[in-house]
């Protein structure tokens, strides 16, 4: 039986992480420790929400209107086997598209996969946004944290969306008494949000 996925959070509806209405899944645990990471709480390899792939998909489809799913973290490629199953089950429900953020380079994922299931997971991904976050290269535009990150169109789906130049969006979602920042905020908004979330926790 497949291991559960260590989930940091799930958002069933956002317009801030790619084209259309999207579900988003963040996993917990990342080996990169990029200075200035927007999700530092999700870097430690600690147990969070342990969920089966079908449970993740049920939550993502609580709004049946999503056009796609965005995977982020933490580091999705370290939990690729479970996320590939999420993608497979999601596609059985609807022809959704998939975007994935990763700190790994595409070539390394192909040549030295960091976990079981990476090859299968990549088979489902339409757009991979890859490479570590480098704060000084955060130019405030596009669906990526910094300009060193490459946007790789693995499939033709979403080829008409301008990932490099689209305006960034960030949404505040309040859930179970906590504030979740969804999207890629500008640097100024990011520091304001950090103050806000800290003051309200
Ligand atoms: S790869 Fe992403 S999640 Fe991991 S530390 Fe870097 S910015 Fe944060």
Each residue's pLDDT tens digit in the chain (201 positions)?
Answer: 568 999 999 999 999 999 999 999 999 999 999 999 989 999 999 999 999 999 999 999 997 799 999 999 999 999 999 999 999 999 999 999 999 999 999 999 999 999 999 999 999 999 999 999 999 999 999 999 999 999 999 999 999 999 999 999 999 998 778 888 899 987 665 555 554 443 333
Alpha carbon of 78 to those of 38, 54, 187: distances in Å?
19, 19, 28
pLDDT of residue 171: 93
Tell me, yes or no, whether 199 lies in a domain.
Answer: no
Tell me, yes or no, whether 191 lies in a domain.
Answer: no
Q: Closest by alpha carbon to 109, among 91, 123, 99? A: 123
Tell me, yes or no, whether 54 lies in a domain.
Answer: yes
- The residue whose CA has the least distance to atom 3 of ligand 1 is 74
Tell me, yes or no, whether 195 lies in a domain.
Answer: no
- The number of the ligand 1 atom at minimal distance from the alpha carbon of 42 is 3
CATH number reported for the structural domain that contains residue 62 in this entry: 3.20.20.70
Measure 93 CA to ligand 1 centroid, in angstroms.
30
pLDDT of residue 201: 33
HSE of 201, CA atoms in CB hemisphere, 13 A: 7
Q: Is 18 in the pocket of ligand 1 (CB under 6 A)?
A: no
pLDDT of residue 199: 35
pLDDT of residue 99: 98
Alpha carbon of 33 to those of 8, 21, 99: distances in Å?
16, 30, 22
Q: How far apart are CA 20 and CA 39, in angstroms?
A: 23
44 Cβ contact partners less than 8 Å away, ≥ 6 residues apart: 28, 29
Tell me, yes or no, whether 92 lies in a domain.
Answer: yes
pLDDT of residue 200: 36
Q: What is the pTM of this model?
A: 0.92
Q: How far apart are CA 158 and CA 139, in angstroms?
A: 23
- The number of the ligand 1 atom at minimal distance from the alpha carbon of 102 is 1
Measure 64 CA to ligand 1 centroid, in angstroms.
29
Please give the angle made by the CA atoms of 7, 144 and 77, to the nearest 5 degrees.
35
Cα-to-chain-centroid distance, residue 123: 16
- The number of the ligand 1 atom at minimal distance from the alpha carbon of 133 is 7
**How many structural domains compose the chain?**
1
Measure 74 CA to ligand 1 centroid, in angstroms.
6
Q: Is 130 in the pocket of ligand 1 (CB under 6 A)?
A: no
pLDDT of residue 16: 95
Q: Residue 87: give the domain boundaries.
A: 5-168
Tell me, yes or no, whether 173 lies in a domain.
Answer: no
């Amino acid at each position: 039986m497949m291991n559960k996925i260590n989930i940091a959070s799930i958002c069933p509806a956002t317009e801030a992480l790619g084209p259309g209405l999207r579900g988003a899944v963040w996993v917990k645990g990342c080996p990169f420790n990029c200075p200035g990471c927007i999700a530092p709480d999700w870097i430690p390899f600690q147990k969070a929400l342990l969920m089966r792939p079908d449970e993740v998909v049920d939550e993502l489809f609580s709004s049946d209107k999503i056009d796609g799913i965005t995977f982020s973290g933490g580091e999705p490629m370290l939990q690729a086997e479970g996320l590939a199953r999420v993608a497979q089950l999601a596609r059985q429900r609807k022809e959704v598209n998939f975007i994935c953020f990763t700190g790994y380079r595409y070539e390394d994922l192909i040549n030295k996969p960091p976990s079981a299931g990476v090859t299968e997971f990549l088979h489902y991904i339409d757009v991979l946004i890859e490479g570590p976050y480098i704060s000084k290269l955060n130019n405030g535009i596009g669906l990526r944290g910094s300009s060193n990150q490459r946007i790789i169109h693995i499939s033709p789906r979403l080829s008409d969306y301008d990932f490099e130049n689209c305006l960034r969006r960030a949404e505040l979602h309040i859930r179970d008494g906590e504030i979740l920042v969804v999207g890629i905020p500008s640097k100024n908004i990011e520091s304001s949000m950090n103050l806000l979330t800290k003051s309200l926790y």
